[in-house]
Structure 1
Amino acid sequence: MKLLNRSAAAAPRPALQLVITEDRLEPAGTAPLAADPNLALALIAQDAVDLLLSAEIRRVRVCGADRCALRFLDRSPARNRRWCSMSRCGNRTKVCLHQARTRQSGRITES
């Protein structure tokens, strides 16, 4: 906890700026990336503190893929997201499961 707090306090947050796009207020681009790794860590730590103190912490999940341990914030309406990313782990897992079922059904019909 001390390390997280110390890291979060190491740098101020970049100031958010606004632009008007089609009569709507929007954030102006993205915050500049920190060139110093310690400053980058400070920004990550600040986001972690915000998340840990928010109600959304209950929506943090661990990816369901066997070879992945990434965490993600499940904002799906049904709160039933299983993978960190469909393109990264979800599709691979579904392909592997389908191939295993196909091999299994092939063994049963050959007998």
Structure 2
Amino acid sequence: MLKKDLPPCPVELTLLLISNKWKILIIRDLLKGTKRFSELKKSITNISQKVLTSNLREMEENGLLSRKVYPEVPPRVEYTLTKVGYSLEPLLTDMDKWGTWYRNEVI
């Protein structure tokens, strides 16, 4: 994504980068450390392999995570959040707190 194509609003930019539930759940899992593709697939229920792959690629292109391929048969691929990806931790922590509050107070 080119800088000139980015929206001027910071909230809109953030939503553009983590705009779906799958990306949020991928970040949630990777905040705990490096994960293999199969670990992410198992942890994130109801996500297809195609959708997981697509989201991981987008997140890598946007600098949120890095991908390491090991020259093995079968190939082993691991994903790790970058410094930029880890910077989203406070946002996810606040989402967790708000979701807990909502569940306890509103529902």
Q: Which has the higher helix share?
A: 2
| Fold shared, TM-score > 0.5 on shorter chain | no
Q: Is the radius of gyration larger for structure 1 or structure 2?
A: 1
Q: Using structure 1 for the length normalisation, give the TM-score.
A: 0.28
